[in-house]
Structure 1
Amino acid sequence: MERIVEFILELDKLKGVTRKNRPLGLDRYENSAEHSWQLAMLATSLLAYAAEPIDIDRVVAMLLVHDIGEIDTGDTSVYIEEGLADRKAAELAAVNRIFGKLPPAQAERLLGLWLEFEQGETAEARFAHAADRAMPVLLNLANQGQSWRECGISHARVVERVGPPIQAGCPALWDYLVPRLEHARQQGWFGA
């Protein structure tokens, strides 16, 4: 019990990891804990649109653990590819430290889910990636491109980075987003 409580209290630090998107109607930026919760809800809601049969419980578990390494590393924009290998190595070290607080069997299970998400090879991981890439897009569309404008992210860059993983895991979601992204481009909601 002590190890589980220590782990759960360590996870509380995820609430302090600031991301680039603002929650709707709020002046502050969202945190990674909010992001993970919202992804789990998005994936659950989109289950009928998965590209292939999936175990939604596994997807939700992946989405709840996928950003835990950010407790030590902070959030990194999907649009920044420079230094990616170093950031991924740091995240792996972080999740090993954090999951190491748990009893070994639980640590192994959660690390396995984190690695499955990172590798992106299973149907569940592809669907989880689709949700992870889509949620910031949905927030930006609802916030008139807030983080795209603030961070100088172009329409082409968004389509290039988020299109393939969304289409691979949830093609219907990508079909939904394409005309909305074009509308956003026409409205000037992207950075230069």
Structure 2
Amino acid sequence: MESVVRFILEIDRLKGVTRKTRPLGLDRQENSAEHSWQIALLAASLAPYADSPVDIDRVIRMLLLHDIGEIETGDTIVYAEEGWEERKAAELAAVTRIFGLLPETQAAEFLGLWHEFEAAQTPEARFAHAADRAMPVLLNLANNGQSWRENGISHARVVRRIGPPIQAGCPRLWAYLEAQLETARQQGLFGA
């Protein structure tokens, strides 16, 4: 019990990791804990749209765990195009330490789910990636391109970074978003 409590208190720090996107109607940045909660619900809601059946409980567990390394590394905007190898190595070290607070069997299970998400080879991991990549887009579309404009993110860069993983994980979601992104481009919601 003590190890579980230590783990839960350690991951409370995820609430202090700020991201570049604002929650709707709020004048502050969202945090990584809010993001993880929201994409878990997005995935659960999108499950009927998966191309093939997915173990949605496994998807949700991946989404709740995938950003825990940000406790030590901070968040990097999804549209960043450089430094991913170094960042992922630092996140792996962080999750290994943090999951290591748990009993050995549970630590191994959580680390396995983290690796599965990162590899994006299973249908569940690809579906989880689709939800993870889609949420910042949905918030930006609803916030008139807030983080795109503030961070100089172009339409082409958004499509290049999020299109392939969403297409691979949930093609029907990508078909919807692709049309929304084109409308946003025509409305001038992207940075230079």
TM-score normalised by length of structure 1:
0.99
Q: Which residue of 2 aligns with 1:15?
A: 15
Q: Which residue of 2 aligns with 1:104?
A: 104
* Residue deviations 1:123-164 (CA, integer Å, cap 9, x gap): 000000000000000000000000000010000000111011
SS in 1 for 2:63: helix
Q: Which residue of 1 aligns with 2:70?
A: 70
SS in 2 for 1:81: coil
How far off its partner does 1:78 sit?
Answer: 1.8
How far off its partner does 1:79 sit?
Answer: 1.7
C-alpha distance in structure 2 between counterparts of 1:148 and 1:173, whole Å: 20
C-alpha distance in structure 1 between counterparts of 2:183 and 2:145, whole Å: 11
How far off its partner does 1:174 sit?
Answer: 0.7
C-alpha distance in structure 1 between counterparts of 2:90 and 2:50, whole Å: 31
Q: Which residue of 1 aligns with 2:131?
A: 131
How far off its partner does 1:81 sit?
Answer: 2.4
* Residue deviations 1:82-126 (CA, integer Å, cap 9, x gap): 221111100000000100100000000000000000000000000
SS in 2 for 1:51: coil
Does the Cα contact within 8 Å between 1:51 and 1:168 map onto a contact in 2?
no
Q: Which residue of 2 aligns with 1:143?
A: 143
Does the Cα contact within 8 Å between 1:19 and 1:32 map onto a contact in 2?
yes
Number of residue pairs matched by the alignment: 192
Q: Which residue of 1 aligns with 2:181?
A: 181
How far off its partner does 1:77 sit?
Answer: 1.3
C-alpha distance in structure 2 between counterparts of 1:175 and 1:81, whole Å: 23
C-alpha distance in structure 2 between counterparts of 1:132 and 1:39, whole Å: 6
Q: Which amino acid aligns with 1:182?
A: E
SS in 2 for 1:46: helix
SS in 1 for 2:22: coil
Moved over 3 A (4+): none
Instruction: In structure 1, list runs of 5 or more residues that go unmatched.
Output: none
Does the Cα contact within 8 Å between 1:129 and 1:166 map onto a contact in 2?
yes
TM-score normalised by length of structure 2:
0.99
* Residue deviations 1:53-78 (CA, integer Å, cap 9, x gap): 11000000000000000000000112
C-alpha distance in structure 1 between counterparts of 2:178 and 2:78, whole Å: 18
Give the percent of matched residue pairs that are identical in Structure 1 and Structure 2: 76
C-alpha distance in structure 1 between counterparts of 2:87 and 2:155, whole Å: 25
RMSD: 0.6
